[in-house]
């Protein structure tokens, strides 16, 4: 007779039983799981249920069972009620509540759900007992009693049958089981134990230890099943030992390995049996037919999907092998490359070559060469030959390095000669090998020593770098370039003008600044004093002491947790199969002390975060992984000799800055110095291998688990009175986790966030640290940046600086850059170097005024952010008591809804104010820190070529406040016209005389000179004329400079550091007008000379106003409501951004924002009026700029066809040679696994993914124009540098000293004319035809849509827009082109 015994699951234990069961038992448990998920058949009466609750089942299915199985399409798991954990954290306790949500799956909720289910069971059991006692059983209870009675009868009648039938398992009707189990969904987590004979059942029940053993075995089998489903390992056909690579060749080599490496990965014999026990899904004829259909929103076809996977795997393997070699895990690297090599043997040769390349072997070869293990290298050479790969220069360099580390003898010299001969037969000379290979540490010297054992007189000849340009627009600058090796000591003084903007710093001063900068980068961060003005708490000193104690205890806990979790990870990874790329290897590259420092900084960052917003855990994981990667890269440079060599080269670089006797730009100087030191030491053009996004997330998750689990805080830590009570205890009594997670709705998604415990936040606020910490790659540099000489090296001395700001999946543009001629990238690199070479300082006179306003609560009208506390509270609704007493009227539902909306808006406004306030706090605190220092701003660019400073907080981009605080460090005399340019700049900033000529503006400046002087002398207590300006803070800074010049004895000799701006007049429309030679459009944007400036914004506003008057006369109410409000400022942003692709929706938001800011405009008309003005503004622009609209439409149509017909991203090459690829692709929202040891092989890249057609076509016109304005800026930058001018740009706004404004204006106009004299549209059409057009053989001539689309693409790419007759040379005489 069979019985069912339901027992609670035992508490988890650390021990492990003998789980080496057979596949037969595993099959039984698999069938048991199938049985659990089989839906119960419908029953008609309770009596029938009871009598058929338990019946024996033979191994041959009945006809009824066969029909039931045929009807089932898939196994359905029972639906569980899912809950979200709401953790209420107070000062003393942390209580949990449950809230039901949909589609929320998280392993962290398992314990919470189990607790809730147990409560349901207990409650139901209590109700049943109560009903039985009172004799008031319902029909369901009667059924339960009948079930118990029939159970006994059935047991007695079928005992004999059960004994003589040897069934593998017994089929149980789950309707007969306790219904509370089904309702609670507990029958999956709570095991059902099945027994055969009655005597055996009694013995088991009498012995609890036997029951626990069964339960333990059950959990072990369940873990096996779950691991089969979650982590499917590929079977490896050949073992590593079959290739004789397991045995170490030298005894000393094994001693040098990590202890983890002494045991090769183990393959369980049961791995091969897993396939036999997998549940096969039911496959009918319909599914069999559609199995081969390819459906993907991301990839165009199966081939693209396969190539994408291969590319992702190649990136992961390259990164993993580099890390293995760095962490001294050569055996792990060897087993990994061997596993993938074996795996692709089944496939064709092409696939193997795509994955297993010679570059992967070279990584491993250098690892073994560093140990002098030539036997291993020889076996790798055999594998290379078996794979049909050719040796590269790097392969021979590794061979020579390995032989150079072996003691020299006759055999050694014979081998060296053999590889030299082999290389020469392959076409590689020794000079090529030494020149093209990349070396680290002492590899170059060792390889050279090996070669000289057989060729004593060999001295490598390194190919000198090409220093000049290969671009028609810049070839005239090549006249100043002296080829490498032909340098002379006699350089004409006039040719050294390029050094004028870099003079004034001695070698000793620059070297000292470089040492300080290196120390900052080695530390990884910088801590500065905050300018926040706050009251000192009474217990501040006590809180600081407690925080210091916490810091020390946290460091100990983190260090212990790192060792503990790494050992656990090491034990788990040890017995994984070959080729198992895991996170343990990545985590082994740093010491635990580095992880401790990183986590301590992360703790303080989280504890000081915003209360209303937090990054999601995915973002936090990735950012923390990036910090680990950055620390690893710096440690790598310290150990491979790069740091030392950078110091040597930079010292020579400082000497050139000091002497000023050079006619090279910074890139050319750096290239010469690097070439001079190529004879020894590491290579300086080593590309850093970035970790994939999945690795960064996995490493960050590992560390965050420690932060969430091991970082504790005493909830009573701030209670000073409890000191005496806790003095006798060794450990705090109220320890709680310092961080917890919550789930927040973000749109339709639920995102997990990390929050600090309120006690921790309060402790930090009370301690008032008054400091801010910034990463070293987010602050300005204390010395001139390293010049960009290659796409991989430049910017900070040690920190990795990205040349192009791109998302991590955008690799297509990097492919184009790698494949292009290095000389084609020089213009963009040199422009970045020129901008980065400009030294800055803080305008301290103005900074003090800004800090005073900020510390006094800010000022919204002056654009100084206010703290969120300054926001007035919302009015509260009357309480129920007030309504009952008659003191207030009842609240209607509409009023409550309005209050709810107001609360949401109030909370949103608070979050915005806090964000702006923090931004100002960071900017002003950094400015205060650097107030007496000179600093430099390294630059990089976006994918279009637009340049940006790398430090985000303190730079000259951004708002009026940000631009006003910085001035040049170099001072230059104003000269004859400098004072006039200064006054003109002041009037330009006010925005009061935009339609007036230069002469009228200067006269106006003389009229208001008393106001200017009063603003400078009494900025906050005077008449504050400056505050009414369009750019108030820049106007105030200019007023202060004018006052200083006015009061100086000789204005012409006054040394000024103040930058003067020359701003383009709607620069995007200027480029469109020049492209189309549109005469009317050119005049409206000041390309043609005129007596007064033409204001395109006012012209558009006049057209709109004329249309509005007509509509108002025709009775249109919205036109009448806009009377007097169609102003220049209202439509300016829309006109400016139209050429950059703004949509009608975006334009409507822009206009609505401007209308809301007008106090007199009726707020009820904001949205109708904004819709009306948007339509009229677009119509007016079409009327004014016909040629512009034609070009824009051609751009859009070309991009639509390229993305839609060719399924490729739109790309082009700028006039300066920079390849551009639009990184807009369709990506599936794939959630990374929340846990696991294995590094995923998949990652998204834009090389093989479908383009996002909508984004591609909408973004191409503005992106192409942005690439043109960046090209114009770069041309102007390089010409100004050659003339010795200080030049800085904010996109289309150029800055220089007052005395050099005329030279800047001349260069700006000449370069614009030179740029647009090139056949830009013709070259673009030719490039797109060459890249995307279809050949005659590609057409099917069947009249299909696909065939017609291809023909339309070819036709559209050739149909250039018609051009006008505007003469570009007029720009040279236009005063207001840039003014």
State pLDDT tens for residues 1121-1173: 888 888 888 888 888 887 777 788 888 888 988 888 888 888 888 888 999 99
Asked if 1354 and 1333 count as a contact pair (C-beta separation under 8 A), the reply is yes
Residues whose CB is less than 8 angstroms from the CB of residue 85 and which lie 6 or more positions away in sequence, other chains included: 96, 98, 108, 109, 112, 743
Q: What is the pLDDT of residue 515?
A: 95
Residues sharing a CB contact under 8 Å with residue 542, sequence separation 6 or more, in sequence order = 720
Alpha helical stretches, state H, 930-1019: 960-964, 978-990, 998-1007, 1009-1017
The pLDDT of residue 189 is above 50: no
The residues facing 526 across adjacent strands are 774
Top pLDDT among 70 and 381 is at 381
- Strands 939-942 and 947-949 come out as antiparallel
- Comparing CA positions, the residue from 1317, 1297, 1305 lying closest to residue 1279 is 1305
d(CA 1024, CA 1005): 16
Handedness of CA 124, 128, 130, 131 (dihedral sign): positive
8 Å CB contact between 1271 and 1212: no
pLDDT-based confidence at residue 1229 (cuts at 50, 70, 90):
low
Element of type H or E holding 948: strand 947-949
What is the 3-class SS of 1248-1270, one letter each residue?
A: CCCECHHHHHHHHHHHHHHHHHH
Q: Residue ranges of the alpha helices (H) in 61-158? A: 63-71, 110-134, 139-157
How crowded is residue 62: how many other Cβ atoms within 10 Å of its Cβ?
Answer: 10
Q: Is 628:595 a contact under the CB 8 Å cutoff?
A: yes
pLDDT of residue 142: 43
CA nearest 574: which of 350, 1033, 355, 264? Answer: 264
Residue 483 has pLDDT above 80, yes or no: yes
Helical segments of 790-843, H only = 812-819, 822-836
Averaged pLDDT for residues 69-78: 48
CA R_g for the chain: 38
In 671-810 the beta strands, taken as DSSP E runs, fall at 712-714, 735-737, 739-746, 749-756, 771-775, 786-790, 793-795, 804-805
Q: Is the pLDDT of residue 190 over 70?
A: no
CA–CA dist 4, 201 (Å, integer) = 10
- Res 923 pLDDT > 90: yes
Per-residue pLDDT band for 103 (boundaries 50, 70, 90) equals very low
Closest CA to 1368 of 1312, 1303, 1323: 1312
CA of 101: how far to CAs of 359, 744, 858, 1229, 1258, in Å? 50, 12, 42, 21, 38
Residue 17, pLDDT score: 42
Contact yes or no for 1203/1197 (Cβ under 8 A): no
Q: Environment class of residue 789 by beta-carbon count within 10 Å: exposed (0-12), middle (13-18) or buried (19+)?
A: buried
Q: In this structure, what are the phi and psi dihedrals at residue 785, rounded to the nearest 5 degrees?
A: -65, 160
Residues 6+ apart with CB under 8 A from 746: 616
Res. 315: pLDDT tops 80? yes
Q: Output phi, psi for 6, to 5 deg.
A: -100, 120
- The string of pLDDT tens digits covering residues 793-831 is 999 999 989 999 988 888 899 999 999 999 999 999 999
Residue 135 buriedness (CB in 10 A; 0-12 / 13-18 / 19+): exposed
Q: What is the pLDDT of residue 105?
A: 47
Task: Compute how many other C-beta atoms are within 10 angstroms of the C-beta atom of residue 1078.
Answer: 27
Tell me which residue of 1251, 1204, 1200, 1201 sits closest to 1352, measured CA to CA: 1201
Does residue 1302 carry a pLDDT above 80? yes
Q: Is there a catalytic annotation at residue 1063?
A: yes
Distances (CA, A) of 25 to 55, 215, 741: 22, 15, 41
pTM score, whole prediction: 0.79
When pLDDT is averaged across residues 1284-1298 and rounded to a whole number, the result is 93
Give the mean model confidence (pLDDT) for residues 183-209: 57
Is there a contact between 767 and 517 (Cβ–Cβ < 8 Å)?
A: no
Distance CA 803, CA 791 (A): 6
Q: Which of 63-77, 376-390, 1247-1261 has the lowest mean pLDDT?
A: 63-77
Share of the chain above pLDDT 70, in %: 77
Residues 6+ apart with CB under 8 A from 263: 574
Q: What is the structure's pLDDT at 197?
A: 52
Please report the pLDDT score of residue 58 as a whole number: 42
Q: Which whole number is the average pLDDT over 214-240?
A: 47
Catalytic residue chosen out of the listed positions 710, 960, 1246, 1292? 1292
pLDDT at position 733: 67
Burial of 671 (0-12, 13-18, 19+ CB in 10 A): buried
> CA–CA separation, 1137 vs 1156, rounded Å?
20
Higher pLDDT, 32 or 806: 806
Q: What is the pLDDT of residue 2?
A: 39
Asked if 169 and 35 touch (Cβ cutoff 8 Å), the reply is yes
| pLDDT at 1235 (0 to 100) | 52
How far is Cα 977 from Cα 982, in angstroms, rounded to an integer? 9
Q: How far apart are CA 1057 and CA 639, in angstroms?
A: 42
Q: Confirm whether 1292 is a catalytic residue.
A: yes
Nearest to 984 by CA among 1054, 1092, 1061: 1061
Neighbours of 876 (CB within 10 A): 7
Length of the chain equals 1379
The single-letter DSSP state of residue 935 is B
Q: Stretch 1080-1096: mean pLDDT, rounded?
A: 89
Find, among 1223, 1072, 1054, the residue nearest to 1140 by Cα. 1072
Nearest alpha-carbon partner for 570 in 259, 334, 317: 259
Percent of the chain surpassing pLDDT 90: 46
The number of helices, as runs of H, and strands, as runs of E, in the chain is 52, 24
pLDDT at 682: 93
DSSP state of 236: P
Instruction: Pick the catalytic residue from 449, 863, 977, 1063.
Output: 1063
Q: Is the pLDDT of residue 1238 over 80?
A: no
Burial of 1310 (0-12, 13-18, 19+ CB in 10 A): middle
507 is catalytic: no
CA distances from 1098 to 433, 997, 1076 (A): 65, 16, 23
- Give one DSSP letter per residue of 843-874, joined into a string: -HHHHHHHHHHHHTT-BTTTTBPPPGGGSPPP
Name the nearest CA neighbour of 96 among 731, 737, 762: 737
Assess whether pLDDT exceeds 90 at residue 254.
no
> Model confidence at 571, in pLDDT bands (50, 70, 90)?
confident
Pairing of strands 804-805, 939-942: parallel
> What's the average model confidence in pLDDT over 616-640?
92
Across the range 839-848, mean pLDDT stands at 96
**Active-site residue, selected from the candidate residues 502, 637, 1132, 1257:** 1132
Lowest mean pLDDT across 114-123, 900-909, 957-966: 114-123
Sort 1007 into a burial class: Cβ within 10 Å, 0-12 / 13-18 / 19+.
Answer: exposed
Pairing state of beta strands 966-968 and 840-842?
Answer: antiparallel
For residue 668, count other CB atoms closer than 10 A to its CB. 24
Provide the pLDDT for residue 718.
Answer: 80
Return phi, psi of residue 223, to 5°: -60, -40
Q: pLDDT band at residue 753, thresholds of 50, 70 and 90? A: confident
> Whole-angstrom distance between the N-terminal and C-terminal Cα of the chain?
100
Mean pLDDT on 584-608: 91
User: Does residue 53 surpass a pLDDT of 70?
Assistant: no
User: Considering the chain, what is the average pLDDT of its residues?
Assistant: 80
């Amino acid at each position: 007779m069979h019985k069912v015994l339901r027992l609670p699951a035992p508490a988890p234990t650390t021990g492990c039983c003998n789980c080496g069961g057979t596949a037969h038992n595993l099959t039984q448990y698999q069938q048991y799981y199938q049985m659990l998920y089989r839906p119960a058949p419908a029953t008609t009466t309770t009596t029938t249920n009871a009598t058929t609750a338990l019946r024996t089942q033979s191994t041959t299915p009945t006809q009824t069972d066969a029909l039931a199985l045929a009807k089932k399409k898939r196994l359905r798991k029972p639906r569980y009620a899912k809950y979200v954990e709401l953790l209420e954290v107070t000062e003393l306790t942390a209580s949990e509540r449950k809230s039901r949500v949909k589609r929320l799956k998280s392993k962290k909720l398992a314990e919470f759900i189990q607790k809730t289910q147990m409560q349901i069971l207990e409650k139901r059991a209590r109700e049943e007992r109560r009903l039985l006692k009172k004799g008031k059983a319902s029909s369901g209870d009667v059924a339960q009693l009948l079930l118990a009675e029939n159970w006994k009868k059935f047991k007695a009648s079928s005992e004999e049958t059960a004994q003589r039938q040897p069934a593998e398992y017994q089929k149980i009707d789950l309707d007969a089981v306790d219904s509370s189990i089904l309702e609670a969904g507990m029958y999956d987590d709570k095991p059902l134990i099945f027994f055969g004979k009655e005597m055996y059942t009694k013995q088991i029940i009498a012995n609890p230890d036997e029951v626990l053993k069964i339960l333990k075995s059950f959990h072990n089998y369940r873990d096996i099943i779950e691991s089969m489903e979650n982590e499917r390992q590929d079977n490896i056909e050949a073992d590593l030992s079959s290739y004789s690579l397991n045995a170490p060749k030298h005894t000393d080599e094994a001693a040098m390995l990590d202890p983890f490496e002494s045991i090769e990965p183990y393959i369980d014999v049961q791995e091969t049996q897993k396939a036999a026990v997998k549940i096969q899904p039911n496959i009918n004829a319909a599914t069999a037919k559609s199995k081969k259909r390819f459906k993907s929103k991301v990839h165009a076809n199966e081939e693209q999907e396969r190539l994408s996977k291969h590319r992702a795997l190649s990136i992961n393997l390259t990164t993993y092998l580099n890390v293995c070699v760095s962490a001294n895990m050569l055996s792990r690297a060897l087993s990994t490359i061997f596993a993938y090599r074996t795996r692709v043997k089944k496939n064709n040769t092409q696939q193997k070559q795509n994955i297993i390349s010679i570059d992967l072997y070279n990584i491993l070869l250098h690892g073994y060469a560093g140990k002098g293990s030539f036997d291993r290298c020889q076996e790798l050479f055999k594998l290379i030959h078996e794979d049909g790969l050719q040796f590269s220069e790097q392969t021979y360099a590794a061979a020579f390095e390995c032989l150079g580390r072996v003691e020299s003898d006759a055999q050694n010299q014979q081998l060296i000669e053999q590889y030299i001969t082999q290389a020469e037969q392959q076409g590689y000379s020794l000079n090529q090998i030494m020149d093209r290979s990349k070396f680290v540490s002492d590899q170059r010297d060792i390889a050279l020593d090996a070669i000289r054992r057989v060729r004593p007189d060999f001295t490598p000849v390194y190919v000198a770098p090409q220093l000049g340009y290969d671009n028609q627009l810049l070839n005239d600058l090549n006249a100043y370039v002296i080829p490498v090796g032909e340098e002379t000591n006699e350089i004409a003084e006039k040719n050294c003008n390029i050094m004028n903007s870099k003079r004034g710093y001695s070698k000793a001063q620059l070297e000292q600044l470089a040492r300080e900068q290196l120390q900052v980068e080695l530390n990884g961060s910088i801590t500065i004093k905050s300018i926040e003005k706050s009251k000192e708490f009474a217990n501040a000193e006590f809180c600081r002491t407690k925080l210091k104690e916490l810091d020390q205890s946290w460091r100990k806990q983190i260090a212990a947790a790192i060792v503990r979790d790494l050992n656990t990870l090491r034990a788990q990874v040890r017995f994984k199969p070959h080729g198992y790329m895991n996170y343990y290897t990545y985590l082994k590259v740093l010491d635990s002390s580095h992880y401790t420092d990183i986590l301590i900084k992360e703790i303080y960052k989280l504890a000081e975060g915003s209360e209303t917003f937090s990054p999601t855990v995915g973002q936090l994981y990735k950012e923390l992984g990036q910090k680990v990667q950055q620390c690893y890269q710096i440690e790598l440079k310290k150990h491979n000799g790069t740091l030392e060599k950078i110091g040597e080269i930079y010292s020579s670089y400082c000497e050139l800055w000091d002497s000023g006797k050079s006619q090279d730009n910074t890139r050319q100087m750096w290239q010469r110095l690097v070439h001079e030191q190529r004879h020894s030491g590491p290579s300086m053009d080593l590309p850093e291998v970035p970790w994939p996004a999945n690795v960064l997330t996995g490493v960050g998750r590992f560390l965050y688990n420690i932060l969430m689990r091991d970082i504790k805080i005493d909830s009573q830590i701030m209670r000073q009175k409890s000191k005496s009570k806790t003095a006798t205890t060794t450990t705090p009594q109220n320890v709680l986790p310092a961080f917890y997670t919550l789930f927040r709705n973000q749109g339709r998604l639920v995102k997990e966030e990390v929050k600090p415990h309120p006690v921790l936040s309060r402790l930090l606020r009370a301690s008032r640290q008054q400091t801010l910490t910034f990463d070293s790659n987010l602050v300005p540099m204390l010395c001139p940046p390293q010049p960009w000489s290659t796409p991989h090296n430049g910017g900070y001395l040690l920190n990795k600086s990205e040349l192009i700001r791109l998302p991590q999946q955008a690799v297509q543009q990097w492919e184009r850059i790698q494949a292009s001629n290095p000389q084609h990238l020089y213009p963009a690199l040199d422009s970045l170097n020129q901008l980065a070479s400009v030294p800055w300082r803080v305008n301290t006179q103005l900074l003090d005024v800004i800090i005073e306003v900020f510390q006094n609560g800010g000022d919204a009208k002056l654009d100084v952010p206010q703290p969120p506390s300054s926001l007035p509270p919302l009015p509260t609704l009357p309480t129920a008591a007030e309504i009952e007493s008659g003191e207030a009227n009842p609240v209607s539902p509409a009023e409550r809804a309005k209050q709810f909306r107001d609360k949401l808006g109030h909370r949103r406004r608070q979050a915005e104010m806090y964000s702006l306030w923090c931004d100002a706090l960071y900017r002003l605190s950094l400015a205060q820190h650097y107030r007496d220092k000179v600093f430099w701003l390294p630059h990089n660019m976006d994918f279009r070529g637009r340049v940006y400073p790398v430090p985000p907080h303190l730079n000259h981009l951004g708002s009026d406040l940000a631009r006003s605080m910085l001035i040049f460090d170099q001072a230059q005399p104003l000269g004859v016209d400098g004072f006039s340019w200064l006054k003109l700049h002041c009037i330009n900033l006010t925005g009061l005389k935009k339609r007036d000529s230069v002469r009228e503006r200067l006269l106006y400046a003389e009229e208001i000179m008393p106001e200017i002087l009063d603003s400078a002398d009494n900025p906050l207590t005077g008449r504050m004329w400056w505050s009414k300006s369009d750019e108030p803070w820049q106007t105030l800074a200019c007023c202060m400079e004018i006052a200083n010049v006015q009061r100086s004895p000789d204005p012409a000799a006054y040394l000024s550091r103040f930058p003067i701006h020359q701003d383009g007049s709607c620069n995007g429309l200027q480029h469109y007008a020049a492209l189309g030679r549109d005469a009317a459009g050119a005049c409206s944007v000041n390309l043609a000379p005129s007596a007064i400036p033409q204001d395109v914004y006012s012209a558009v506003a006049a057209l709109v106003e004329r249309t509005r008057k007509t509509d108002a006369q025709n009775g249109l109410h919205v036109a009448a409501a806009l009377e007097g409000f169609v102003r220049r400022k209202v439509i300016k942003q829309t006109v400016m951004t139209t050429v950059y692709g703004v949509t009608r929706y975006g334009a409507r938001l822009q206009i609505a924002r401007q209308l809301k800011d007008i106090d007199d405009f009726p707020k009820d008309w904001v949205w109708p009026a904004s819709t009306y003005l948007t339509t009229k503004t677009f119509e007016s622009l079409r009327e004014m700029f016909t040629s512009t609209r034609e070009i824009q439409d051609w751009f859009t149509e070309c991009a639509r066809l390229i993305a839609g017909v060719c399924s490729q991203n739109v790309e082009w090459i700028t006039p300066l040679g920079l390849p551009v690829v639009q990184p807009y692709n369709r990506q599936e929202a794939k959630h990374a696994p929340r846990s696991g040891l294995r590094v995923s092989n998949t990652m998204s890249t834009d090389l093989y993914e479908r383009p996002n057609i909508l984004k591609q076509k909408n973004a191409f016109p503005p992106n192409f124009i942005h690439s043109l304005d960046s090209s114009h800026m770069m041309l102007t930058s390089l010409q100004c540098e050659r003339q010795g001018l200080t030049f800085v740009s904010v996109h289309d706004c150029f800055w220089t000293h007052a005395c050099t404004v005329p030279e800047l204006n001349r260069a700006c106009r000449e370069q614009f004319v030179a740029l647009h004299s090139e056949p830009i549209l013709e070259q673009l059409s030719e490039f797109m035809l060459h890249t995307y057009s279809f050949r005659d053989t590609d057409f099917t001539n069947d009249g299909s849509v696909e065939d017609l689309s291809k023909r339309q693409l070819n036709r559209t790419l050739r149909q250039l827009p018609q051009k006008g007759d505007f003469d570009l040379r007029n720009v040279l005489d236009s005063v207001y082109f840039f003014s």
